[in-house]
Amino acid sequence: MQQNEIDAVVIGAGFSGLYQVYRLREAGFTVQGLESAPDVGGTWYWNCYPGARVDSPSMVYQYWFSDELLSEWDWSERYSPQPELLRYFEHVADRFDLRRCFRFNTGVEAARWDADARRWRVVTDQGDSISARYLICCSGILSAPQVPPFEGHESFTGRIVHTARWPREGMDLAGKRVGVVGTGATGIQVIQTIADQVEKLVVFQRTPPFPVAMKNPSYTDADREAWRARFPEVREHLNHTFSGFEWDALYEPGEWQELSADQRRDAMESLWADGSLRFWVGACEEVLNDEAVNAEFAEFVRAKIRARIDDPELAERLLPRGLFGIARVPLENGYYDAFNRDNVELVDVRETPIERFSADGLVVNGREFPLDVVVLATGFDAGTGALTRMDIRGRDGVSLAEYWHRDLRSTMGLQVHGFPNMFTVSGPLAPASALCNASTCLQQQVDWVRDCLVALRSKGHSVIEPSAEKEEEWVNYHDELVATTLFTRNNSWYTGANIEGKPRRFLSFPGGVDVYWQLCEDLRLNGYPGFDIC
């Protein structure tokens, strides 16, 4: 089907894609949304594994654009489970009539910039060819699953499932022997949820995680009303914090070191008692840039873990080593209790990696672990994977996948030099990639894109692209900031280290949501300096 004169194609019907379509349509643009899933929800559509839930409080992990929506939607608990989140996105899609703007079960195979027409030609896996002025990628940070290439998987007689492709109809694990590979945020949620359902659970751990114990109270009507009274203030405040949550660091730079050891201990206890990511990004910036301060936090967490495990030898094997919080900090809610159960076994695969699948299970160090189901909680090609898995070609046919294979570059995580009129909501080198409450950053970027398109239209322009100098300036600024932090020692998806051959660069802008917001505002108010517009 050929469809011309569309203003924008929006890829993805998750948090940002739904909102982008809503904002552009409201501003009078013609929009076609494309979504490979059968329905809305993005991350919360795909990640329907047991125990999936968000690690941002529901009251800040939501849309702010509609007072009616804020007043009518009731969150049931502090950290919403996946089914409730999915219901929310379905409700938003219905409430604002967004589904009619999307084609579902329709993935983007390729997109080419046509310099003569000044348009993108987008080709889908359903044979559609769409011509659009703007290509807006809302394809997600953590949406391209990473499956390790274990040999012998075709001979395994049991079932292998990646958590991000969990069967929609669910899977009955009762009485089964289940192996879980991976102990990141996802593995933690699966393990703590299924441990008491399965006959045997074998956890294959390469790197022990550094989680904070979650507190997840149910919300009463009174809680919800108290939150609603605060919504106007919270909505205004979120973009003026370091991490996009409703709170900011408790201590200004330098203050932490002035506290006595007892005061620091009390402060950590009280942050810990919050049961949230506040322990990680809500204390002081030194946690992320001063090795001595970081070591205090790391040791505090290790002591909390030790106290949870009955067997001291097992506790040592579960203890995370090294720096705290330089990889994404997960929340746990029963994870360590699972390891006190007789039916749960921990297998270290750092020194002796998983060798292969056998017909009956997984083999490590010559020992076979018989399994009925192998759960791969092995993560994602984060930040870039969803984009590079499409064949996107910009000016002069340059491939985005090849460009980023050489070096991971972007201008403020919003646009890439050489790819005119392409926008990357939650793209690399912006806070939205990893270091913030995603919903804050995504909405800020979506609004920025909408404002940019409105500004172009009002001046009779139709093309915008960051100059090579502007991109260089941003990448250098980003790298300089990263160099002042402990993130330089990161070895996870935060730097692309989990994907073989991926160029290393810290994925997320580390300067803070507030700083980033101001820089985006400056661009908008000053007519996008450093961007070529015509």
Judged by the rule CB under 6 A, the positions of this chain that interact with ligand NAP are 53-55, 142, 148, 181-187, 189, 204, 206-207, 328, 349, 354, 377-380, 492-493, 498
Identify which of residues 37 and 475 has a Cβ nearer to ligand NAP in the complex. 37
Within 10 angstroms of residue 341's Cβ, the number of other Cβ atoms is: 11
Identify which of residues 108 and 377 has a Cβ nearer to ligand NAP in the complex. 377
CB of 204 to ligand NAP, least distance (A): 6
CB of 261 to ligand NAP, least distance (A): 31
Identify which of residues 191 and 452 has a Cβ nearer to ligand NAP in the complex. 191
CB of 345 to ligand NAP, least distance (A): 15
Quick check: 380 and 497 in contact, CB under 8 A? no
Q: Give the list of residues 6+ apart from residue 358 with CB closer than 8 angstroms, or none.
A: 152, 155, 156, 368
CB of 477 to ligand NAP, least distance (A): 24
Q: Sign of the CA dihedral 378, 507, 497, 347? A: negative
The type of residue at 232 is P
CB of 154 to ligand NAP, least distance (A): 17
CA angle 149, 153, 159 (to 5 degrees): 120
CB of 425 to ligand NAP, least distance (A): 17
Identify which of residues 276 and 421 has a Cβ nearer to ligand NAP in the complex. 276
Identify which of residues 204 and 528 has a Cβ nearer to ligand NAP in the complex. 204
- Whole-number Å distance between alpha carbons of 283 and 208: 23
Identify which of residues 42 and 184 has a Cβ nearer to ligand NAP in the complex. 184
Identify which of residues 351 and 396 has a Cβ nearer to ligand NAP in the complex. 351
**In the structure encoding, which two tokens stand for residue 119, read together?**
């348009």
Identify which of residues 32 and 139 has a Cβ nearer to ligand NAP in the complex. 139
Within 10 angstroms of residue 255's Cβ, the number of other Cβ atoms is: 12
The type of residue at 339 is F
Distances (CA, A) of 258 to 252, 262, 297, 334, 486: 11, 11, 16, 35, 21
CB of 330 to ligand NAP, least distance (A): 7
Identify which of residues 148 and 370 has a Cβ nearer to ligand NAP in the complex. 148
Place of tokens 């102990």: 183
* Residue 177 three-state SS: strand
Within 10 angstroms of residue 157's Cβ, the number of other Cβ atoms is: 11
* Residue 77 three-state SS: strand
Identify which of residues 24 and 190 has a Cβ nearer to ligand NAP in the complex. 190
- Whole-number Å distance between alpha carbons of 530 and 515: 18
Candidates 324, 76, 50, 358; CA nearest to 209 is: 324
- Whole-number Å distance between alpha carbons of 123 and 126: 8
Helices and strands (H and E) in the chain: how many: 17, 20
CB of 174 to ligand NAP, least distance (A): 23
CB of 206 to ligand NAP, least distance (A): 3
Identify which of residues 193 and 411 has a Cβ nearer to ligand NAP in the complex. 193
Give the phi and the psi of residue 221 in degrees, each rounded to 5. -60, -40
For ligand NAP, the nearest residue by Cβ is: 184
CB of 163 to ligand NAP, least distance (A): 6
E strand spans, 188-281: 200-205, 212-213
CB of 362 to ligand NAP, least distance (A): 10
CB of 417 to ligand NAP, least distance (A): 28
Identify which of residues 377 and 513 has a Cβ nearer to ligand NAP in the complex. 377
Look up residue 152 and give its DSSP letter: T
**In the structure encoding, which two tokens stand for residue 295, read together?**
């070591």
CB of 521 to ligand NAP, least distance (A): 26
Q: Are strands 464-466 and 531-533 parallel, antiparallel or unpaired?
A: antiparallel
Look up residue 100 and give its DSSP letter: G
CB of 494 to ligand NAP, least distance (A): 8
The type of residue at 468 is A
Identify which of residues 72 and 151 has a Cβ nearer to ligand NAP in the complex. 151
Q: In 3-state terms, the chain is what percent helix, strand and coil (to 5)?
A: 40, 20, 45
- Whole-number Å distance between alpha carbons of 148 and 379: 10
**In the structure encoding, which two tokens stand for residue 337, read together?**
């209790």
Identify which of residues 88 and 134 has a Cβ nearer to ligand NAP in the complex. 88
* Residue 364 three-state SS: strand
Q: Sign of the CA dihedral 467, 433, 485, 276? A: positive
